[in-house]
Every structure is written in C-alpha cells, then in structure tokens.
C-alpha cells in the first residue's frame, strides 16, 4: 500500500514537473516570438532608411534582377528541396517538411546581410516584398506540382493570413524608414548602421540561447541536419551562380544569393503547424531550428569574408576591377547591369556622342569666326 502511494506520488511529481517545464517553454517561446518580431521590425525600419521610393520603382521598371531572383526563389529552391528529399530516403513527413521549406519566400534577414556586403539594398527590399506577394500563388503551385506523385491524403494548406501579416510587417517599417530617409537623410545613415548592428546582435543571442536551453529537445537525425545544411548552401551558391550567368553585376549577384538562401521561417513554421499533426510536427520540429541556424551562420560567414576581403585588399569598388567584361551603367544612383541593352545604348556610345557633339560645336564656332573676319 505504501509502495503504491509512493509510486503514485512520484508519478504525480513527474507529471507536475513536466507540466511546469512545458509552461516555462511556452512562456519562453512567447517572449522570444514577441522579441524577434520587434527586432525584425527594427531591422526592416533601419534598412528602410537606406532606400528611396524612386530607386524601388526603378527596380520594378527594369525587373531583370527581380526576375532572376524569382527564378531562384521559386524555381531553384523547390526543385533542389524535392531532389534532396527523395535522395535522402526520409519519411513522408520529413519529405513534406523539406519541400515546404524550399517553397517558402525570402526572409527579411537577407536585407541585413545585403547591407553588410555592400549589395543592392533597393533590389533586396524589392525582392523580399515581391517574393512574399508571389508566395500567395507560387507556394500552392509548387507544392501541388512536387507532391502530386506522393499521393497525400490531404492537400497542404497555405496560411494566407500569415503571408498577409508578413507582408504588412515588411511594408510598414520600410515605409517609415523611407520617410525618415527623405526627411532626415543625415540621421538615416546613423539609424541604419546602429539598427543593423543591434538587430544582428540580438538575433545571434536568441539563437544561441535557444540551442543551449532546448538542446535536450534536439533530434539529431542525420537526414534533418544534412537537408538543413545542404539546402542552405545550395540557396546561397546557386543563387549567386545563376545571377552571374544572367550577367548581373557583382553587388546584385551577392544580393540575389542572399535572398535565395534565406527563407521566411515564421511562415514556414505556420505552414508546418497547419499541415502536420502534433505527433508529426514533433518529428521535424528541429528542421526549422537547424535551417535557421545554418542560414544565419552562412550569412555571417559570407559577411565576414567580404568585410575581411574589403579591409585587407582595400578594394571598395571591386566591381570595376573584377568586371572588365560586363557593361554596367551607373543610373538611378547604383550600378545596373545593361547586358540586356543594345551596345549603342552603353556608356562608351554616350562618350563618343559627347565627343562628336563637342567637335561639331567647335567646328561651327570656327566657321562663325572666319565669316566674321572675312
């Protein structure tokens, strides 16, 4: 009788401890979610201080960079995620989770990395916004195409409300940042630098704290770790190579690479929770954690390598030294690729026209002088 009482007491204590841990975990997740939301709003606002409406509109009117980015985001990434899923021989749940990750639009963290590698900030913000809007139609299309042969019982639901929330959380801070840049241009540069440093530091601290506090929940499944690392690597390198192949300038190539390799993790978690049961979700809960860690580490590595390269070699304008074969035109305040333009529209043609005009004006002046003498 005493044994039964003691075992019941132990069981009750164990259940109580588990419930307390669960409540603490839920409370911590709520605090982290609110903190990350505020930090991302700060980041987007500070980076919006480097943007102008005219330059955003110019990117839309000349959508070569946006088109290449969309091809990488909704062409390359879903295809690579599908190949990776069927190659690793994972379960159906893991396959679905990997594919959903590849079909997600770009995340706002790419704007931060683009700022630190001297990329095209206007293109980065435009791509992030356009990919979020395109996700309303491209995510269901990609998921339908690649899961058609898997014969899933139910389709994968798309959280349109979450996509809309992500879009608003991106557009509103950017609009505020653009207004600050227009009204107080000198102060906007300070805000951009301080906000980017502060935001990046807080994100790194939260990521490290997550791993340390919840390391006993980590499912070190080799397929999950491999898919997270490989898909992140493919996103960065594949986006960069496709940008170079399509004759994008070096700043734009770096921007497209970063946009391709970073996914909207908040939207990804929302789709997973809607698509999977609690038991299925517990099997792949570490996938977004690992992918988020890998995309953050890879982005920081790219940033560190670029900053060291720029500091050691003193080549702040590396585009001129490394792109002698690519025609670029400095319009709208940034280097734009004119590989799609006709040769007679290039800067060399403009200089020749200027010289011809000066020569013609000089000849007319000489003829007028001679007539006056005669």
CA separation for the pair 161, 165 (Å, rounded): 6
Q: Would you state the pLDDT for residue 164?
A: 82
Q: Would you state the pLDDT for residue 237?
A: 93
Show the low-confidence residues of the chain (pLDDT under 70): 1-30, 32-33, 89, 151-155, 206-220, 314-374
Q: Is the CB of residue 185 less than 8 Å from the CB of residue 300?
A: no
Q: Would you state the pLDDT for residue 184?
A: 85
Question: In angstroms, what CA-CA distances link 216 with 205, 213, 265?
Answer: 19, 8, 22
Q: Would you state the pLDDT for residue 9?
A: 44
Nearest by Cα to 111 from 192, 232, 180: 192
Supply φ then ψ for residue 336, to 5 degrees.
-125, 145
Q: Would you state the pLDDT for residue 92?
A: 80
pLDDT tens per residue, range 247-304 = 999 999 999 999 999 998 888 888 888 887 777 777 787 888 888 888 888 888 999 9
For the stretch 70-101, what's the b/e string if a residue is b when 16 or more beta carbons lie within 10 angstroms of its beta carbon?
bbbbbebbbbbbbebbeebebeebbbbbbbbb
Number of residues written out for the chain: 374
DSSP secondary structure letter of residue 263: B
Q: Would you state the pLDDT for residue 374?
A: 46
Q: Would you state the pLDDT for residue 72?
A: 94
Q: Would you state the pLDDT for residue 277?
A: 78
Q: Would you state the pLDDT for residue 253?
A: 93
Q: Would you state the pLDDT for residue 252?
A: 93
In the numeric block, which tokens belong to residue 74?
A: 């909704």
Other residues' Cβ atoms within 10 Å of the Cβ of residue 309 = 13
pLDDT tens per residue, range 70-98 = 999 999 999 999 999 888 867 788 888 89
Partner residues linked to 331 by β-bridges:
334
Question: Taking the model in full, what pTM does it have?
Answer: 0.70
Q: Would you state the pLDDT for residue 368?
A: 56
Q: Is the CB of residue 120 less than 8 Å from the CB of residue 162?
A: no
């Amino acid at each position: 009788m005493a044994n039964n009482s003691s075992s019941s007491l132990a069981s009750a204590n164990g259940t109580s401890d588990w419930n307390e841990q669960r409540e603490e975990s839920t409370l911590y997740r709520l605090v982290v979610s609110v903190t990350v939301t505020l930090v991302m709003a700060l980041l987007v606002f500070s980076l919006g201080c480097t943007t102008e409406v005219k330059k955003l509109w110019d990117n839309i009117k000349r959508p070569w960079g946006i088109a290449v980015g969309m091809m990488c985001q909704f062409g390359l990434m879903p295809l690579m995620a599908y190949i990776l899923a069927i190659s690793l021989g994972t379960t159906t749940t893991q396959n679905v989770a990997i594919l959903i990750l590849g079909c997600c639009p770009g995340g706002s963290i790419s704007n931060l990395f683009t700022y630190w590698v001297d990329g095209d900030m206007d293109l980065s913000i435009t791509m992030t916004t356009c990919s979020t809007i395109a996700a309303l139609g491209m995510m269901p299309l990609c998921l339908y195409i690649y899961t058609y042969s898997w014969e899933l019982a139910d389709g994968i639901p798309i959280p349109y409300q979450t996509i809309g929330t992500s879009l608003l959380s991106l557009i509103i801070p950017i609009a505020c940042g653009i207004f600050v840049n227009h009204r107080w241009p000198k102060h906007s540069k300070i805000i951009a630098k301080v906000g980017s440093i502060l935001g990046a530091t807080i994100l790194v601290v939260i990521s490290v704290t997550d791993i340390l506090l919840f390391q006993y929940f980590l499912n070190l499944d080799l397929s999950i770790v491999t898919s997270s690392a490989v898909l992140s690597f493919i996103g960065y390198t594949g986006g960069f190579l496709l940008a170079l192949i399509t004759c994008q300038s070096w700043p734009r190539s770096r921007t497209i690479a970063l946009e391709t390799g970073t996914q909207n993790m908040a939207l990804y978690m929302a789709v997973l929770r809607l698509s999977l049961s609690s038991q299925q979700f517990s099997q792949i809960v570490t996938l977004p954690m690992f992918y988020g860690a890998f995309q953050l580490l890879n982005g920081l590595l790219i940033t560190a390598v670029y900053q060291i390269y720029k500091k050691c070699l003193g080549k702040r304008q590396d585009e001129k030294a490394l792109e002698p074969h690519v025609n670029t035109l400095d319009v709208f305040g940034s280097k734009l690729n004119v590989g799609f333009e006709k040769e007679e529209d290039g800067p060399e043609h403009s200089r020749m026209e200027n010289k011809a005009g000066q020569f013609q004006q000089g000849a007319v002046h000489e003829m007028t002088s001679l007539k006056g003498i005669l």
